[in-house]
Every structure is written in C-alpha cells, then in structure tokens.
Amino acid sequence: MDNLPRGFHFHATDNELSHYVREEEDFPRLEFMWEKVDFFGIKQASIPVEYPVPHFLDKWFFISTSNWRSSATEDMHLAPVVEELHPRIAIIDEGVAAGQVKEVKLKDGRVLEADIVVVGVGAKPLMMLFKGQVEEEKGGIKTDALFRTSVPDVYAVGDVATFPLKMYKEMRRVEHVDHACKSAEHAARAIFANEEGKSIDEYDYLPFFYSQAFNLSWQFYGDNVGDTVVFGNKDPNSKNPKFGAYWIKDGKVMGAFLENGTPEENKAIAKVARVQPHVESLGQLAKEGLAFASKI
C-alpha cells in the first residue's frame, strides 16, 4: 500500500535580496538594518516566522500589537505575484527600484514605510511526480471516500487529495492541518480494514479552519456560502471582543464563525454547521447570535 504525502511548491524569484525562510537556521542571514517590517498575506504563519528569533521582535513589532498592520506590500519583483493573489489590496510604488523597497503605496492611497516586506505567497500541491499516472480533479489527486486513488493500493491524503465531501455531496480539496490529520487517520483505518477483509464508514468531514495569535483566536466550521449574518461585539477597542457570523443559503445555516469563543461555544457553532438548521429571519438570527447555536 502506498500513501501519497502532501508536498508543495511555489514560484521563486531570482532577486538576490529575496530570501526564503524554511528553518530557524535561515534567520541569521536576515539580520540587517531593518527597522520597519510590513507583513502581507501571512495570517497565522506570521507567528512561526516571528517566534523562533526573540531578538527580532523589536523589529517585527515596530508599532503596537493592537495596531499591527498585516498589509499588502511587495517589491517590484513580487508585484505580479501579489497583483494576481490580491488584486484589490495593494500595488507597488513604481518609483522604487527592485530590491530597494523604501515604501509601499496601497490602492486606498496610504503609503507605508518599509525596510523589508514579508510576503506569504502560498503554495500548491506538488503534482508533477504523479502527472499522467493517477486521475486528477480540481487541482488535486482524485480519491474516493476512503482516499483510494485510481491506482490500486495507492492512497492520497491531505490537501493533495480531492475527495467526496459527503455533507455537501461534491468533490473538494481542503487545505488545512485538521483535514490532513483526519484524512490520514481514515486512510490508515481503510488500509488495515481492507487487509482484514472488513469495511469502514466513508469519510464524513465537517470543514474546519482556525487561527490563533496571542490572545486572539477564531474558529470556522462549514461552508462560507450565501448571506452573511454578523453578531456580537465587533469593537476592536474592547478588552474582550467576541463576535461571529453565520452563512445562510436556501434558509439553512451553512457555516459558522466565532472569534474568541470558549470551547463550549466553539462546539456549539460546529454543531450548527453540521446540523444546518433552518432560519426564519436573518434579523432575528443576528439578535440571537450565540444563543441560536446554544439551542441546537
């Protein structure tokens, strides 16, 4: 039995001042006279980038954490990449030479000073090795509900696999560590069951995404389709902000998001996304907020 690992690749630039950080050992060569750092598209990945090197923190956090800008910035070599990924957010100041970025002009008119720009360009599944050898769909390797590919005894898991998402009755590829772990576990169970002449249930996954930075955290379950209903305390200056959202389609809750929820509250919104209860009034749903989830 063979199991296809995740794998990934990205498009690199040959700019001599562009650096790619993969290991902690890569950090020392980055310690120049950088005082102002702009982050773009980093999200939860910013914490692993910053945390391993404590003496960088005074440079990373050159403004207070509460006002920390994760903003769209890039030098001219990265501009085409950023324009493709985030066309509505930022543009490069055309007056700045490649590798000598001093400021970044945003599309909303703001200009941000920067000695270095940190860009999260993302990645995509590494498929080249398997091209023409396994069936593909939606940018991944097509599998069944047990993660079996079109090749006998070959399984694919994680974000390289396009699998039947049972609750939505469609083929999907999910890019998150939660699915990567659970799909690998399910594939292993399927392999052992097959060897023993037994069968197991099909993979029935509830899409789940989360992020956490310092005292801020959020969780999302389900599908972000349909109308959005926002609830809770959205004041960024509040000491304990707690807000969330439901996604409603065809009168049913399809997805649920919660910022700064307790374990019990997160379980409640997960159940809502799984059960997909009917909603009579979007206005009433906004008023009830978390109370709606607690009733399910």
The CATH 3.30.390.30 portion of the chain extends over 208-295
Report residue 120's pLDDT band, with 50, 70 and 90 as the boundaries: low
- pLDDT at position 152 over 50: yes
> Which of 58-72, 102-116, 160-174 is modeled with the greatest confidence?
160-174
The better pLDDT of the pair 48, 181 is held by 181
pLDDT value for 231: 94
- pLDDT at position 109 over 80: no
CATH label, 126-195, candidates 3.40.309.10, 3.40.50.10490, 1.10.150.120, 3.50.50.60:
3.50.50.60
Tell me if residue 190 falls in helix, strand or coil.
helix
- pLDDT at position 246 over 90: yes
Dihedrals phi, psi of 4, to nearest 5 degrees: -85, 120
pLDDT value for 181: 94
pLDDT value for 113: 73
Q: How far apart are CA 187 and CA 134, in angstroms?
A: 17
The reported pTM is: 0.66
Contacts of 266 (CB under 8 A, 6+ apart): 219, 258
pLDDT tens-digit readout, 3-37: 444 455 555 555 555 666 666 666 666 655 455 55
Ramachandran region, residue 292 (left: φ > 0; alpha: ψ -120 to 50; beta: rest): alpha
Structural tokens at position 83:
């324009």
The better pLDDT of the pair 107, 145 is held by 145
Q: Edge-to-edge, what's the strand order for the sheet holding 140-142?
A: 136-137, 140-142, 161-165, 170-172
CATH topology of domain 208-295: Enolase-like; domain 1 (3.30.390)
Q: Residue 54's Cα: distance from chain center in Å?
A: 25
pLDDT tens-digit readout, 167-195: 999 999 998 889 999 999 999 999 999 99
